[in-house]
Chains A and B, each alone.
Chain A
Amino acid sequence: MIEIDGLCKLYDGVPVVDDVSFTIGKGDICAVVGTSGSGKTTLMRMINRLVEPTSGSVRIGGRDTRAFEAHQLRRGIGYVIQGNGLFPHRSVAQNIATVPQLLGWDRARIAARVDALLSLFQLDPGQYRDRFPSELSGGQQQRVGVARALAAEPDILLMDEPFGALDPIIRGKAQADLLAIQRRFGTTIMLVTHDMNEAMALGSTIAVMDRGRLMQYAPPSEIIARPATDFVAELIGSGDRPFRMLSLDSVLNHVEPGAAAGEAIDCHASLRDAYAECLWSGRDALPVTRDGKPIGRISLARLTRLAARPR
């Protein structure tokens, strides 16, 4: 879907993005991780040509992005930035309607789309449509920011530290919402973050950047099991590796037949949560339920095996 090919950006002769090539598949969530100054934001801004590459090319759906007028290209790509960048002088509805208006949709279609998106993000349209951004909480502003980016039904969504300004609890909720919406629309997402936990939680693939270069581009399990460089290993943190591994999968995929004593765990919980519960309650196995009905158990021994480095 997004093919990045030999992309370079030099500022005053200094490479900020240095010969980066990789391909993001349709419907993937690619988390670009790196420290500040790693070139990850510049890389993203070259996708929608807010930054023009010094050399290399980007193809979207097989077409070179340079074939479009830059502003036309951007209207087809959703864009969410840290601190959301909502227009303070426009109402929530007007903010969400920005791109549809640029595309010349008719009034009725825009109004219907705004209400549908507000409902999707659990904001009652009647109550929130005419509010101004300053009248919303941080979490609500962030949701409106994402709704605005999705307004014209783009196939691609670019997100630059979208959850950076949120407190941890709201951030977890916002991440879950994003995953649900991505599953529903099949949007291809490129998400820039400096937070490896966030990358692991959201990314179907992870691109690790360091000093302008792409260190590794692989699914999360691969990144944990076989970090390509010391830098990648350091970013993951060696002490966290088994737990990160466990957090990638849910209990549902590893249920064993049989029963166990004590409080049950829901099958959609992560293996990491199950492991933590075993250790904390001192049990060798937990009963697993689905929609409240028991479907089997998960054992500490199984979890321990799953936490080991894959071969």
Chain B
Amino acid sequence: MAIPYHSPAAAPFSPTRRFDKLGIVLVLLVVAGAALLPFVTSKPNRIVPGEPLPIIGALPLGQAILLYAVVAIGACVAVLRVPNIWRLLAGMGVIGALGLMLGASATFLADGNGVARISPASGFWLLVFAFALLIADALARLQLGPLVRLGISALIVGVVAAFLWGGVWQDVSILREYANRGAAFWAEARTHLLLSFGSLAAATLVGVPLGIVCHRHGKLRVGVLNVLNVVQTVPSIALFGLLIAPLAWVAANIPGAAALGISGIGFAPAMVALFGYSLLPIVANTVAGLDAAPPAVKEAARGMGMTERQVLLEAELPLALPILLTGIRIVLVQNIGMATIAALIGGGGFGVFVFQGIGQTAMDLVLLGAVPTVALALGAAVVLDAMVELAEPRKARTA
């Protein structure tokens, strides 16, 4: 039987050979974002409906052409099969240019008018999304080490901070809202961090020992995990509400409780609810992590004369750490998002701006609460992913 002769030259033309598949999708998004959808919305004041403007109307002609060119070059890099490092740099370059031009557009359109509101519109967000996808894809394909990834994240944070403090975005609507509420913003930021990290810390302090005890005692494990599962299934708003009565009772009837800041509404029930949600992932992942430690390792540790405590601290917990950190990552990202709901019961946090904004139909105010929340959650995920990877026992070198 003859084997058909096959040469590369004889291969049929296929677009996927020359073009990147994801790149083709990205180009569609870029075309929609740059040509069909508005780049910014320009409003004479913060409440009235605004006028959507494409790039060409949002910027002086020269800058508009420059931005079109940059986006087009970025799209070409995305669609062609080029080294991933180019794709990474192109993605970051285009997003940087979009950020700069957003600020330029706001300054151009506001033209010194202090009450005008220039907000990023759907086209801007779609373009940012498309090139963020390009960056994420390039990062995944480059398979960079955790420390390099952290370095890149730090760089991005640095650039954003430079834009913020350098005044690039000072005329963009979200920062106009910020300018009106600077003090409140930082107070709510502090509350938000305290809620999400505080509940995480408390849940870790309680959850890890609880997980260790559950791992040792099979009967306890089933009971504890079932109870925590039930807590997890209570809808968050309901849990915040359900805690009002018992905590109000505690504040009223237990001496000193009120002085400690415990009350039916506000910070305390928010903290307790977030703590409750945090326990299940931490306890469950502690148990799973300890289960995953190979029995031979524990046997050897005991057989060499480690005390129970040493076996736990020197063998079991280090081996459980990657899974435990995964649990902490889940909890932190979940809590940063869920802490916005705390504003509903007077708990504070970025949610305050979100709910005020909804009440006033001022979308820029909603964004003032939502954007930092998303950024915080994203940052926490990146940092903890890197930590999980660093905690894993070294993999065999691929020769």
Stretch at the interface among A19-27, A72-80, A228-236, A283-291: A72-80
Q: Is the CB of A85 within 8 A of B299?
A: yes
Interface positions, chain A 42-88, Cβ under 8 Å from B, are 48, 50, 71-76, 79, 81-88
In the complex where A85-B294, A85-B297, A88-B319 touch, is A50 in contact with B396 (Cβ < 8 A)? no
Counting CB contacts under 8 A, is A269 at the interface?
no
| B285-322 near A? 1/0 per residue, CB < 8 Å | 00000000010111111111111001000110011000
CB distance from A200 to the nearest CB of B (A): 26
* Residues in B neighbouring A148, C-beta threshold 8 A: 304
Interface positions, chain B 364-399, Cβ under 8 Å from A, are 393-397
Q: Is the CB of A83 within 8 A of B302?
A: no
Q: Is the CB of B310 within 8 A of A102?
A: yes
Q: How far is the CA of A84 from the CA of B299 in the complex (A)?
A: 10
Counting CB contacts under 8 A, is A122 at the interface?
no
Counting CB contacts under 8 A, is A16 at the interface?
no
* Residues in A neighbouring B307, C-beta threshold 8 A: 71
Q: Is the CB of A135 within 8 A of B300?
A: no
The 3 closest A-B pairs by CB, nearest first: A85-B300, A75-B305, A74-B305
CB distance from A175 to the nearest CB of B (A): 21
Q: How far is the CA of A218 from the CA of B307 in the complex (A)?
A: 36
Most buried by B among A50, A85, A132, A134: A85
Nearest CB in chain B to that of A91: its residue: B394
In the complex where A132-B394, A135-B397 touch, is A89 in contact with B318 (Cβ < 8 A)? yes
CB distance from A72 to the nearest CB of B (A): 7
* Residues in B neighbouring A98, C-beta threshold 8 A: 301, 304, 306
Main secondary structure of the interface of B (DSSP, over half): helix
Q: How far is the CA of A134 from the CA of B393 in the complex (A)?
A: 9
A contact residues, total (Cβ < 8 Å): 28
* Residues in A neighbouring B294, C-beta threshold 8 A: 83, 85, 88
Nearest CB in chain A to that of B308: its residue: A71
CB distance from A241 to the nearest CB of B (A): 36
In the complex where A86-B297, A132-B394 touch, is A99 in contact with B319 (Cβ < 8 A)? no
CB distance from B93 to the nearest CB of A (A): 39
CB distance from B396 to the nearest CB of A (A): 5
CB distance from A302 to the nearest CB of B (A): 46
Most buried by A among B297, B302, B303, B314: B303
Q: Is the CB of B393 within 8 A of A81?
A: no
| B2-20 near A? 1/0 per residue, CB < 8 Å | 0000000000000000000
* Residues in B neighbouring A135, C-beta threshold 8 A: 394, 396-397
CB distance from A206 to the nearest CB of B (A): 23
Q: Is the CB of A89 within 8 A of B319?
A: yes
CB distance from A38 to the nearest CB of B (A): 19
| B330-353 near A? 1/0 per residue, CB < 8 Å | 000000000000000000000000
Q: Is the CB of B397 within 8 A of A88?
A: no
What is the number of contacts between chain A and chain B, taking CB atoms within 8 Å?
A: 72
CB distance from A309 to the nearest CB of B (A): 41
* Residues in A neighbouring B318, C-beta threshold 8 A: 89
* Residues in B neighbouring A87, C-beta threshold 8 A: 297, 300-301, 314-315
The contact sample of 7 A-B pairs, CB cut-off 8 A, is A71-B305, A84-B296, A85-B300, A85-B301, A102-B305, A102-B306, A134-B393
CB distance from A36 to the nearest CB of B (A): 17
User: Of A79, A86, A134, which contacts B395 at CB under 8 A?
Assistant: A134
Q: Is the CB of A86 within 8 A of B300?
A: yes
CB distance from A218 to the nearest CB of B (A): 28
In the complex where A81-B296, A82-B296, A89-B318 touch, is A50 in contact with B303 (Cβ < 8 A)? yes
Q: How far is the CA of A145 from the CA of B296 in the complex (A)?
A: 12
CB distance from A58 to the nearest CB of B (A): 15
Nearest CB in chain B to that of A103: its residue: B305
Nearest CB in chain A to that of B394: its residue: A132
Interface positions, chain B 61-92, Cβ under 8 Å from A, are none
* Residues in A neighbouring B394, C-beta threshold 8 A: 132, 134-135
CB distance from B398 to the nearest CB of A (A): 11
Q: How far is the CA of A84 from the CA of B304 in the complex (A)?
A: 12
* Residues in A neighbouring B298, C-beta threshold 8 A: 85
Q: How far is the CA of A87 from the CA of B318 in the complex (A)?
A: 10
Q: Is the CB of B296 within 8 A of A83?
A: yes
User: Of B303, B319, B393, which contacts A74 at CB under 8 A?
Assistant: B303
Q: How far is the CA of A161 from the CA of B287 in the complex (A)?
A: 30
* Residues in B neighbouring A75, C-beta threshold 8 A: 304-305
CB distance from A40 to the nearest CB of B (A): 16
Q: Is the CB of A73 within 8 A of B396?
A: no
| A216-245 near B? 1/0 per residue, CB < 8 Å | 000000000000000000000000000000
Q: Is the CB of B304 within 8 A of A74?
A: yes
Interface positions, chain A 89-115, Cβ under 8 Å from B, are 89, 98-99, 102
Q: Is the CB of A72 within 8 A of B299?
A: no
Q: How far is the CA of A132 from the CA of B392 in the complex (A)?
A: 12
Q: Is the CB of B297 within 8 A of A88?
A: yes
Q: How far is the CA of A87 from the CA of B294 in the complex (A)?
A: 9
Apart from A83-B294, A87-B297, A87-B315, 20 more pairs, CB < 8 Å: A50-B299, A50-B303, A74-B303, A76-B305, A79-B303, A82-B296, A83-B296, A84-B296, A87-B300, A87-B301, A88-B294, A88-B319, A89-B318, A89-B319, A98-B304, A134-B394, A134-B396, A135-B394, A145-B300, A158-B303
